[in-house]
Structure 1
């Protein structure tokens, strides 16, 4: 691991980004160009101390998951991401049918969606990136989780939806996952998720036997948010170009009570982000 080169690469990557590039408000006047260390740390889901030590050439070797988070936070291209892995002595992720690397252009679109919950995920539910509104809506911050796994194994995830809507969500998750595994039989990731859930969730196993197949499409969803109440949101699944990634955007129709509650949710989301981006 070349700590000196890694530190220089991280500092330069941070300096070339402006807050608006990653969906943050500029805030008070900045002494130096680029993002602050605490902003990069928040975007990558790591502590400020950990990131600071990396920039000071004294940090431990980052895990592969952490390197992926840094690549997303710094909006690195595929080549730059590979270079980041090489600097730490790690082999870059090889191209698979569902790449975990989000294209900078897609992240740019995500960053521009200030008033709508949005996230990038694979077609089998792996969250790769999200904005502050998505974190405020679901109560989950940062990438690295699977929405299908959480729905069937974490009661708090199911509690996001009214009880009468949960069976429909369960069927939709399973039907989509069956479509993905059929379309890509050699991709190990969705197949491993199916095997895991068939062994850990009786509900999933029973639904899997029904052999329903349906790809996720636009729909209207209801969310039970603990702070703002019931939200009825239109959900759009926007597909990428051949990399099996989806940009998922939730919006509320203007003039509705859900629209006003979504505006309130944005205030809550910005307040939650303020400690990470407000000083430096």
Structure 2
């Protein structure tokens, strides 16, 4: 264990994260760049005293559970997570939780599909990346918190605060089954990840539909071939659905395309011009 390097690495990662990145208020008297030590400790589910000792190069070797909590709290990339383990003298094993780091090549691919609505989801069905047409067709994800970008939460627990929700789709029931089955697989793959457990507990407590689907123990995903969005500006938009698995990240790239020459293709073309602006706003 390299205590000095571990301390410096933790401090550098803490200082680069803003409170807003993790849903914390900035406050008028904040003088520390990035997060405070106690905030990292809270997010990692460890004591503030223990985390402070790690940053001061005085702490004992952290367990794998502590390292997993720190990686999650500091929003480390996969490479940074592995580096953290090496500094702590605990060679990295399988990722403890779903990856949220989207490869740059996939980000480039998503944004190079101007005539298709494309987005990337994690194993927890959180929308991690999207292009402009996906935002125009589905929701302006940039205006949502990370919590509210979770499609499973949206499907089973209803609209967002203020009444906003993803536009209605024709396959809501099929997507609910897909979400429950995918989360069942995710729970088995990451049994020790607190974020996975917390989401499933939340859905079980808040949705009888999810509880019923969860009790079936089904894991085989049903492919979605097409769906129709009831968009408030351009009307119904029917799209073909394709999903590309990123097996090394446990993520999916979802691509929606319309049949060439169809009214839905014209609607997508119009949405690519309209974007996320509110054309129906009064005044």
* Shorter-chain TM band: 0.5 to 0.7
Matched, 1:157 2:165: yes
Partner of 1:61: 34
In structure 2, distance between residues paired with 1:189 and 1:77: 17
Q: Does the Cα contact within 8 Å between 2:181 and 2:220 map onto a contact in 1? A: yes
Counterpart among 146, 150, 159 of residue 146 in structure 1: 150
> Quick check: which one's helix share is greater?
1
Q: Does the Cα contact within 8 Å between 2:116 and 2:256 map onto a contact in 1? A: yes
In structure 1, distance between residues paired with 2:167 and 2:208: 18
Single out whichever of 184-193 and 253-262 deviates more from structure 2. 184-193
Counterpart among 244, 251, 274 of residue 245 in structure 1: 251
In structure 2, distance between residues paired with 1:127 and 1:135: 11
Deviation (angstroms), 1:229: 0.9
Q: Does the Cα contact within 8 Å between 1:119 and 1:130 map onto a contact in 2? A: yes
Please state whether the residue corresponding to 1:211 is helix, strand or coil. coil
Matched, 1:215 2:221: yes
Partner of 1:269: 275
Please, what TM-score do these two structures have when normalized by structure 2?
0.60
Deviation (angstroms), 1:96: 3.7
Matched, 1:109 2:117: no
Residues 61 and 180 of structure 1: CA distance in aligned 2, closer, same or farther (over 3 Å)? closer
Please, what TM-score do these two structures have when normalized by structure 1?
0.60
Q: How many residues are aligned here?
A: 206
In structure 2, distance between residues paired with 1:141 and 1:212: 29
Q: Does the Cα contact within 8 Å between 1:216 and 1:237 map onto a contact in 2? A: no
Q: Give CA deviations for 1:139-190 in whole Å, capped at 9, x if unaligned.
A: 232272211001111235365224xx32222222212222332344344433
* Structure of higher CA gyration radius: 2
Unpaired runs of 5+ residues, structure 2, are 1-7, 44-74, 84-93, 279-283
Q: Does the Cα contact within 8 Å between 1:119 and 1:128 map onto a contact in 2? A: yes
Deviation (angstroms), 1:77: 8.0
